Amino acid sequence: MDMSKRTAKHVENLTFRIGSKNRIMKKALEGFKPEAVRAIPQSEIQQNVDKALEGFTDVDLAIAMENSSIFCARCGECCRRSDPIVLTPSDIDLLTSLLGIQRLGDYVTAKDGRFIFKKTKPCAFLQKNKCIIYDHRPLVCRQFPFDDRTKGGALTLALYKHCKFTANLIACKAKLMILRRLEEMIDPRRSRTRRI
């Protein structure tokens, strides 16, 4: 397959799902002095953003999982827009221990062979932008925006237009590439060392 076409498609898909490329570029450039930004040709900055948009390696995903608090904007949109919220048997056990078997039915129902939350958009447990059952929240909430329903159970980063996590991760990748480029401009020996 022609890799340039594949890359173009990835960039198109990712920008379609997470918002405009310009927004990501703006975020990637946050914190740089204007003179530093001017030192790099605009086309190079765009290339770095495109490269960051090509997709995620397993290392990117591992870093994102370990440092999720850096990339999550704590906007609470996942608790306002996710539907359905599907529960595992362990979630049911945990919620039963919290709510008791009688009250569980107020919040949980069965549909198509699965247990789901009755009320979503927003979730019944979201109050003042906080989860009031945080320590007992379901697995899907603990993992969000990672998802293990594809790729044979391996966690992948799911894309949602309302969630800024992925855009923040991409902007951070682009920022690191821009930073590396600036380092090389200041000290060209760095680029020679990296090639060895």
CB 65 within 8 A of CB 191: no
The nearer residue to ligand SF4, 117 or 181, going by C-beta atoms, is: 117
Contact flag: residue 72 with ligand SF4 (CB under 6 A): yes
Contact flag: residue 169 with ligand SF4 (CB under 6 A): no
Contact flag: residue 24 with ligand SF4 (CB under 6 A): no
The nearer residue to ligand SF4, 75 or 186, going by C-beta atoms, is: 75
The single residue listed with the structure tokens 């996942």 is: 78
Contacts of ligand SF4 in 82-111 (CB under 6 A): 82, 85
CB of 151 vs ligand SF4, minimal distance in Å: 20
Contact flag: residue 163 with ligand SF4 (CB under 6 A): yes
Contact flag: residue 45 with ligand SF4 (CB under 6 A): no
Task: Classify the C-alpha dihedral 86-91-96-99 as positive or negative.
Answer: negative
CB of 136 vs ligand SF4, minimal distance in Å: 8
Strands 126-127 and 156-157: unpaired
The nearer residue to ligand SF4, 36 or 72, going by C-beta atoms, is: 72
Q: 3-state SS of 79-105? A: HHHCCCCEECHHHHHHHHHHHCHHHHH
Q: Which of 75, 98, 176, 185 binds ligand SF4 (CB under 6 A)?
A: 75
How many helices (DSSP H) and strands (DSSP E) are in the chain? Answer: 12, 7
Contact flag: residue 128 with ligand SF4 (CB under 6 A): no
The angle subtended at Cα 81 by Cα 75 and Cα 155, nearest 5°, is 80
The CB density around residue 69, as the number of other CB atoms within 10 Å, is 7
The nearer residue to ligand SF4, 15 or 117, going by C-beta atoms, is: 117
Q: Per the structure block, which two tokens stand in for 157?
A: 């980063």
Rounded Cα gap, residues 184 and 172, in angstroms: 18
CB of 91 vs ligand SF4, minimal distance in Å: 9
Residues in contact with ligand SF4 by CB under 6 A are 72-79, 82, 85, 123, 125-126, 131, 133, 137-138, 141, 144-145, 162-165
